Every structure is written in C-alpha cells, then in structure tokens.
Amino acid sequence: MGASVVVQGLRIQAGGQTLVDDLSFSIAPGEVLALIGESGSGKTTTALALMGYARDGCRITAGSVRIGEVDVLNLSSVQQRALRGRKVAYIAQSAAASFNPSRTIMDQVVEPAAIHRLMTRAEAEAKAVDLFRELALPEPETIGSRYPHQVSGGQLQRLMAAMALIADPDLVILDEPTTALDVTTQIEVLRAFRRVVRERRATAVYVSHDLAVVAQMADHILVLRGGQMREINPTPQILAAPSDDYTKSLLAAARPVPRVSPPTVRDSQLLLDIHDLSAGYGPVDAKGQPAKMVLENIDLRLYRGQAIGVIGESGSGKTTLARAVAGLIKPCHGTILFNNRELKPQLAQRSKEELRQIQIVFQMADTALNPSQTIESILARPLVFYKGLRGEPLQRRIRQLLDLVKLPATVAGRLPGGLSGGQKQRVNLARALAAEPDLILCDEVTSALDTVVGAAVLDLIAELRRELGVSYLFISHDLHTVRAVCDEIVVMQHGRKLAQVARADYDRGPHHPYYELLARSVPELRCGWLDEMDSARHTTPLEPQT
C-alpha cells in the first residue's frame, strides 16, 4: 500500500474562471502531503482532481495526474470510476452526510470491497472488524450492526476511514476529516488516522485549514492561494521559517490573539439572566419532563456588551442552551429574563421586537441558508421584516452587510451553492447582523472556517462589541478561540454547568479537571505535540473526575 503521486501542470476551470492554475507537485510513497489555504483556494478542487473528478460546472482542462503507473486523467470515465474506492479513496468532511441512514454500518463499510469484487462478504466483514480495531472503535465486533445515527460523530468519522481503507488504496484523501469534531474527540480521531496511515505506509493527501492539526499529520505542506501554489516545503520548515508572505499570514492568523476590549460602563446593565434552566427532547410525561433531558439547572448572567463562552464536548448541552434562549426549544423548567422581562418559552409567543433583539448564527451554514434563494434575498428578508427597508435603502444596506463580513458585492446575486464554506458562514453572520440585535448566539461559527477567515470573523465580533455594544453567547469546542473573544467561560458537561472562569483567571489554576482536559486537547501549532500527548497519556489520566 502506498504509491507515488505526480501532478504536473494541473489546470481546472469553471466557465471563464480558473480555479486551479498550472499546479505541479509530487508525493513520495508512504508520505503525507497537506494542502492548506483559505476557503476558495482550490484545496478540495485539487484533491478531487487526483481521482479524475471535477465538481458540477468545473472541468480539468490541462495537466496530468499519475498515481504509481496509472495516468488518471487519460482514463475513460468507466476506468476512473473503477479507480475510485480501489486505487484512491476519499474521506469526506461530513461523515453524517456520507452515510445512508437506512443501512447498517457494516453494509456500507464493506461496499467498496463488493463493488470492486476484491473478496467475499465474509472476508470483507472480517477485514472491517480488524479496521474497526485499528481505528480504536468501541466494540469492534458488533459496531457494524448499528445504524449511523446510533454512533457518535467521531466514531462515524473513523468508520468512514474504515470504508476508505478496506480496499487497501494506494492513495487516501482526507478532506477536513476532523473539522466538525469537538477537541477531545478530534484528538482521538487524529491518533487513529495517523496510526493507521503510518502502519500501513499509506500515501495520503490531507486537506485542512487547521495548521495545528496539519503539523501533527503531514510530512510536507503545500500552500495554495487562488488556485496557485505559494510554496511547498517540509512541515517543520513551513512552521519555523516560511518563505512566502502568504504562508506567514496564515501562521499569524492561526496563533490565538486576545480580541477583548476592557469593560465599559454599559457592561454593568444586566441583559440576559438565566435561572435554573432545564430542557430536553422527546415525549413529555405527566410531570412535564421530556424523555431525554439534555440541559439541567443552568444559571447564567450576561451583561450588555459582554461575551460569554460556553465550552464542552458534543452532547454537553451547549447548543440546547442557545436554542432555549432563542426560543427554538421549550424549556421544561426555569426562567429566561431579557432586559428584565421574562421571555416566553417558544418563538411563536415572542414579540417582533424580542425576535429582533436575539439572533442566532447556526454552525452549519449549508443547512441554515435556503439553497434556492440568492444571497440578496436571504439578507433582504430580515431587513424588510424588522426594518421595513425597500428599494435603494435596502440594496445599500445589503452592500454594507456584505462589506461588513468581508464579502464582495457581487456575491449578492449568487446562490449559496456557488459559495465556499467560509463564504456561506459569513453570509450566515451577516443575516444575524441585519436585525441589529442586542444579543447574538454564536453556535460554533468559526469551526468550519479557515484560519484567515476565522480570524477576520473574530476581529469583526470584537469590533461590533466595541462599536455597538452587541453581546454574545459564544458556543464552541475550541478553548483557544473562546479565550480570545470572551470575558468569561462557562464549562459544561452532560447538560450541567461545571464551572465559570473569568478572563483574569484564564492562566491561573487550579481549574476544574474537565476544563483542564479541554485545554490540553487543543492541538498546538508545532510538530511533535501529538507525540507528547501520547507519551503523557500513559502517566496522566485522560478522564477527569466530575
């Protein structure tokens, strides 16, 4: 397993636009090359071209791609389909969107072996169980009998890796495979991916905007901008002495910088007061208790102009807290006061002014934006509803909002499907800003963004706090990001609030053990960090006492 990859003069176009321009590079057998750059830089477009694939509207117009002795771009479409899943395998960013919810995990993991007729069903299932074990999945002998919704996001991501590896491909493409995972899950998935890649001597391409993750995985880094290569060098050299100014800017953006202004007079006004809040999902019993309790007895106070971060693993109740404040889920107990007035528990019961004052920015812009509406229509809706704008004032405000989130005015006429992930998230934020709210609930708003765009969004959030006094409830699994933008941090686990840490105490200890675990699990921007973590785990317990 593991073959050389040689790319020469690759050019990919969409209409009259060149997405990847005259790109050449090579990967030695068994090495990992990382593709990094901003959203729209051509990372995924390049990675897909290694399979001879171009997305709808795109064409590979020049160049060659060789995997071992195979000239990929000169194969027929039938031959390219035979190549995919056999010689080259792809691990996508969203495992949840890649699995069929109606079929068992095992049925889907062994499918590449069946399609390419590599082994019998019994042999494929036995090999799948071995892969489950290699990828440190729980209950490897039986996990395949479950359905996708019955496993966690981190487990599903590793199961997708098993599906990709079952055919022993010569090249494995990993496209942002840990972006949507919380930090403690991410570190386990990274460990599993790296161990399997190393032990199998797989040649791999790792697409990511997270330089700290790339530092643990890649032998070499190729930096892309606007579809052009800015530099390619060994990972230690890129991190210690980058030769290109753009690479230097990426590294600078990846290092957390505090973005918090000193408290002002307006901070003394209590804006949001949550008392003894509990919420959950499912059928409600006679006592009003939901079948699954997600949030229990939460107390939290947020002042005007303040930003409070809420951190914790997936399932800790972070998003449920934001949805309860937004009126998207009805609490079963407790009160929410906003500007000293009790908020009705459900969205439909709240006044138009209350709706305007509290806006939410969802994590997944792909599902938050209507794919059939132009960006202009998406931004116009809150401006018409809350502000009554029409005609030129409406158009002018749309242009201002796009400028505010660093998007060109030409984006207004496009559909969400024509934008990169980072661009869609900025539209998501612009829509919330259109209402001129007092409180913005930010649910993992930078988790899917590249470092430069993510840093720009964090700068924007800090700027709005200073100029408009906007308050934030900032939900994230990234402790470094939360520390950069928030005055206080609320730590949650299993639906309960464990601790609240003030900015002045961020670097002082001791803190709650779970807070310390989250802090230790955020990858550092240097080679060898994951190796050190692996060594430390043998002497330090991974699970905190709660």
Of all helices (H) and strands (E), which one includes residue 16? none
Tokens of 109: 């993991």
Which pLDDT does position 102 carry in this prediction?
94
**Cα–Cα distance measured from residue 309 to residue 515, given in angstroms and rounded to the nearest whole number:** 13
Please list the alpha-helical segments (H only) found in 120-152: 121-134
Tokens of 161: 């890796």
Task: Name which of 54, 92, 49 is nearest 67 in CA terms.
Answer: 49
Which pLDDT does position 454 carry in this prediction?
77
CA angle (155 as vertex; 152, 156 as ends), nearest 5: 85
Tokens of 100: 């069929």
**Cα–Cα distance measured from residue 538 to residue 129, given in angstroms and rounded to the nearest whole number:** 26
| pLDDT-above-90 percentage for the chain | 58
Among 3.40.50.300, 3.40.50.2300, 3.20.20.60, 3.40.50.11030, name the CATH number for the domain at 269-508: 3.40.50.300
**Cα–Cα distance measured from residue 247 to residue 261, given in angstroms and rounded to the nearest whole number:** 28
Distances (CA, A) of 542 to 107, 192, 408, 517, 520: 33, 16, 46, 7, 10
Task: Name which of 368, 520, 349 is nearest 441 in CA terms.
Answer: 368
Confidence of residue 537 (pLDDT cuts 50, 70, 90): low
Residue range 403-419: average pLDDT?
89
Beta-strand pair 203-207/32-36: parallel
The phi, psi pair for 512, rounded to 5°, reads: -55, 140
Distances (CA, A) of 328 to 133, 280, 323, 333, 349: 40, 12, 5, 15, 11
With a cut of 60, say whether residue 464 has pLDDT above it: yes
The phi, psi pair for 304, rounded to 5°, reads: -60, 130
28-42, 217-231, 492-506: range with highest mean pLDDT: 217-231
Which pLDDT does position 268 carry in this prediction?
64
| End-to-end Cα separation, the chain, in angstroms | 44
Distances (CA, A) of 490 to 331, 477, 528: 19, 12, 30
Which pLDDT does position 53 carry in this prediction?
94
Among 3.40.50.300, 3.30.565.10, 3.40.50.970, 3.30.1330.60, name the CATH number for the domain at 5-252: 3.40.50.300
pTM: 0.77
**Cα–Cα distance measured from residue 454 to residue 462, given in angstroms and rounded to the nearest whole number:** 12
**Fold agreement (5-252, 269-508):** yes
Chain segment 131-145, per-residue pLDDT in tens: 999 888 889 999 999
Tokens of 356: 């305007």
Report the chain's mean pLDDT, rounded to a whole number.
Answer: 88
Chain segment 279-333, per-residue pLDDT in tens: 988 888 877 788 888 899 999 999 998 999 999 887 788 989 999 999 999 999 9
Only one residue has tokens 């998230």, namely: 425
What are the boundaries of each domain within the chain?
5-252, 269-508
Which pLDDT does position 342 carry in this prediction?
95
Which pLDDT does position 539 carry in this prediction?
52
With a cut of 80, say whether residue 422 has pLDDT above it: no
Confidence of residue 266 (pLDDT cuts 50, 70, 90): very low
Tell me which of 243-247, 399-403, 451-455 is least confident: 451-455
With a cut of 90, say whether residue 154 has pLDDT above it: no
Chain segment 198-248, per-residue pLDDT in tens: 888 889 999 988 888 999 999 999 999 999 999 999 999 999 999 999 999
**Cα–Cα distance measured from residue 34 to residue 173, given in angstroms and rounded to the nearest whole number:** 10
The phi, psi pair for 408, rounded to 5°, reads: -70, 155
Only one residue has tokens 């007035």, namely: 341
With a cut of 70, say whether residue 467 has pLDDT above it: yes
